[in-house]
Amino acid sequence: MDIAEEQFKDPVPNAKVMIQDVSLVEAIHYKRQLEGIDGVSQVIWLDDVMDIKIPIEMADQNIVQSYYRDRNALISLRMEQGKEAKILDEIYDLIGEENAIVGEAVNTALSQKMAFQETMFATALIIPIIILILLLSTNSWIEPLFFLTAIGISILINLGTNVFTGEISFITQSVAPILQLAVSLDYAIFLLHSFSKYRRDESDPEKAMKLAMKDSFPAIIASASTTFFGFFALTFMDFKIGADLGLNLVKGIFFSFISVIFFLPAFTLTFYRWIDRTKHRTFIPDFHKLGKKVLTFGKPLSIFLLILIIPAFLAQSKTTFLYGINDQPEYTRAGRDQMEMEKIFGKQTPIVLLVAKGNIVKEEELVQKIEAFPYVTDVDAFVQTVSPVIPADFIDENIFKHYYSDHFTRMIIQTNTDVEGKETFSFLDDLKKTINTFYDDWYMLGESASLYDIKHTVERDNRVVNVLTVVTIGIVLLLTFRSISIPVILLITIQSAVWFNLAIPYLMNTSFVYLGYLLINTIQLAATVDYGILFTETYKKLRIKMSAKRAAIRTINEKIMAIFISTSILSTVGFILRLTSSNPIVSSVGLLIGRGALLSFTMVVFVLPTFLILFDRIIEKTTLKTTFYKES
């Protein structure tokens, strides 16, 4: 794209406007009005490729039909980057409801317009639900506002620091603030729950806070570290939307940690009387008898899940993926416009090809080969438009510059394939092989060509990000527990939940956006391994005083509610993103997060206790300075 913009002054169109029931003169009038819109850098129609003063019945009908068919005009244009939303509104005003506009720039504009509105709508739904969950799990009407204040400030600081990165993806803008809230709220909950516990025995609030900070700091630093390094792995992606989101979440986790460690204690000590004055009874029943039942169900469930782990791993690797936004829903204007345009002009997916300039004969041979492909409907090339026997001096300079730069020849290949899919990518493979037989120096661009590149880029990213995520989280767990076996047990527990989550689309025979698949590998592992850390830390302390079975039962009784609160917040955030976002990337990430949190909860509460009991001897021998209680 950079080379194309550098070599050719007229950039490749990224949108098409269809004007229905117009004459040639009326179509040109619309073209002139489109050219007058600020931010539209190029408009191409039939009069740019042929002399329309000549009766169109005498012209090449393949060319005519590409631009004008049954009194319907198809006009191509280029919207400048960053102005798509504003330009789209002006074009809608110009063409009215009866005409249509589609294209890559339209998809971008709609996503930009919806990102802010949908984020605000999602936040308006999420905040009251989170407050309700926190009210049920605390003993104060005001305490949930302390949690949200601490994390809310860190979110605002994170958003403000985006000015130093220059720009961020609108996908990041939609997802990052909400995810930051969901995954870092635990830090505030850990601290204030510990503060409430010490307030019962300590009359001095400042001493109680010091004890609470000392008690909760290991859990907070471990939780923040695993999430931080999990998201840090995303910054190594070549696909920059993932790297952009990763950097934003890394900043967010850091600011949340700083806010909870420095701001929240001071804020709480200043206003702790508000907590005292707004006490209410506990709404959640006692779960002291739940541990035995969970452990009873856990044993057969663990066996069942262990049997399913390998099939789940194989199934998630065979899921069918999408790499772009794909077609707009039929109930939207963009979806209706696309259907209407395809009904009249057929499916049109342009591919722009740049080849080394200087050999007309080779260009003719290549065009003939390309036209022979079944999916190619037309090739707009100099050798097709102008007879090679006509001297260059007799050719209009604008036409010549449309096809040639100083170093390259430009051809525009029209195809009737979808923008992506198995057939499209197979066709592009064959097309690339054909071009390679003619040229060593060539470039290809267009939406389908971009998605082809994205497909191969994110497949490489998947391997890098997954390895980095597992390794960095594994190292944090190793340092946290000073154990070799515990990190392995926790990673297997949560990674199994990730595989179960990603296997579901394959079993349901549905496709979803690959970026969602790539991100959830990191997000679910980084965000929900905290459940395992909290559970195992408590189990390890209790195991010094009692048997493995008793320690597991008591840990379930004490920690199931805390894990459930965290799970319910994360899954709520995920499912609301799924319901409120029209962007398929955001929507798919939301679904996977919501479902993944519930699966991770199931694995930690039902399977992890069984693992800890089963590998009790190994854990003791592979954990530094650990001596477990021995029954007589």
Residue 326: the pLDDT is 61
79 burial (CB, 10 Å; 0-12 / 13-18 / 19+) is buried
Residues 340, 65 contacting (CB under 8 angstroms) = no
Confidence at 586, pLDDT banded by 50, 70, 90: confident
Residues 29, 21 contacting (CB under 8 angstroms) = no
Mark whether 95 and 126 lie in a shared domain. no
The mean pLDDT value for 393-411 works out to 77
453 burial (CB, 10 Å; 0-12 / 13-18 / 19+) is middle
Residue 392: the pLDDT is 59
The region of weakest confidence among 31-40, 175-184, 351-360, 384-393 is 384-393
The mean pLDDT value for 275-289 works out to 77
Mark whether 143 and 51 lie in a shared domain. no
Residue 431 has pLDDT above 90, yes or no: yes
Could you give the CA distance from residue 127 to residue 125 in angstroms, rounded to a whole number?
6
The region of weakest confidence among 37-41, 235-239, 320-324, 552-556 is 320-324
Token pair in block for residue 376: 């190619």
Q: pLDDT for 511-553, tens place per residue?
A: 777 777 777 778 888 888 888 888 998 899 899 999 999 999 9
Confidence at 466, pLDDT banded by 50, 70, 90: confident
Q: Give the CA angle between residues 285, 132, 600 to the nearest 5°.
A: 70
Residue 551 within any structural domain of the chain: yes
Residues 133, 269 contacting (CB under 8 angstroms) = no
Q: Which of 380, 415, 445 is the last residue of a domain?
A: 445
Residue 334 has pLDDT above 90, yes or no: no
Residue 427 has pLDDT above 70, yes or no: yes
Could you give the CA distance from residue 280 to residue 274 in angstroms, rounded to a whole number?
12
At residue 338, φ and ψ (nearest 5 deg) are -65, -45
> Across the chain, what does the average pLDDT equal?
86
At residue 15, φ and ψ (nearest 5 deg) are -155, 155
Which CA distances in Å does 506 have to 320, 357, 537, 584? 7, 46, 35, 17
Residue 329 within any structural domain of the chain: no
Mark whether 173 and 248 lie in a shared domain. yes
Q: pLDDT for 80-100, tens place per residue?
A: 888 888 999 999 999 998 899
Residue 507 has pLDDT above 80, yes or no: yes
Residue 301 within any structural domain of the chain: yes
Which residue range(s) make up the domain with 300? Answer: 109-318+452-621
CA dihedral 492, 494, 495, 501 (to 10 degrees): 140
Residue 67 within any structural domain of the chain: yes
Residue 124 within any structural domain of the chain: yes
At residue 249, φ and ψ (nearest 5 deg) are -70, -35
Mark whether 381 and 475 lie in a shared domain. no
Q: Which residue has the tokens 């200087």?
A: 358
3-state secondary structure of 83: coil
Helix axes 143-161, 170-199, angle to 10 degrees: 150
Residue 2 has pLDDT above 90, yes or no: no
Token pair in block for residue 631: 């029954």
Residue 366: the pLDDT is 92
Q: Which of 69, 85, 102 is the last residue of a domain?
A: 102
What is the CATH number for 17? 3.30.70
Mark whether 559 and 467 lie in a shared domain. yes
Q: What amino acid is encoded at 81 in this protein? A: Q
Mark whether 94 and 143 lie in a shared domain. no
Mark whether 256 and 366 lie in a shared domain. no
Residue 117 within any structural domain of the chain: yes
Residue 394: the pLDDT is 60
Q: Give the CA angle between residues 121, 126, 127 to the nearest 5°.
A: 105
Residue 627 has pLDDT above 70, yes or no: yes
Could you give the CA distance from residue 181 to residue 154 in angstroms, rounded to a whole number?
9
Higher pLDDT, 542 or 55: 542
Residue 542 within any structural domain of the chain: yes
Closest Cα to residue 77, out of 90, 63, 65, 64? Answer: 90
What is the CATH number for 368? 3.30.70.920
Confidence at 114, pLDDT banded by 50, 70, 90: confident
Range of 152-161, 221-230, 317-326 with top mean pLDDT: 152-161
Residue 165: the pLDDT is 81
Mark whether 431 and 511 lie in a shared domain. no
Q: Which residue has the tokens 């004007």?
A: 19
Residue 160 has pLDDT above 80, yes or no: yes
Provide the 8-state DSSP code for 357.
S
The region of weakest confidence among 65-79, 165-179, 277-291, 486-500 is 277-291
Residue 396: the pLDDT is 64
The mean pLDDT value for 307-326 works out to 83
Mark whether 461 and 439 lie in a shared domain. no
Q: pLDDT for 368-398, tens place per residue?
A: 999 999 889 888 888 877 666 666 566 666 6
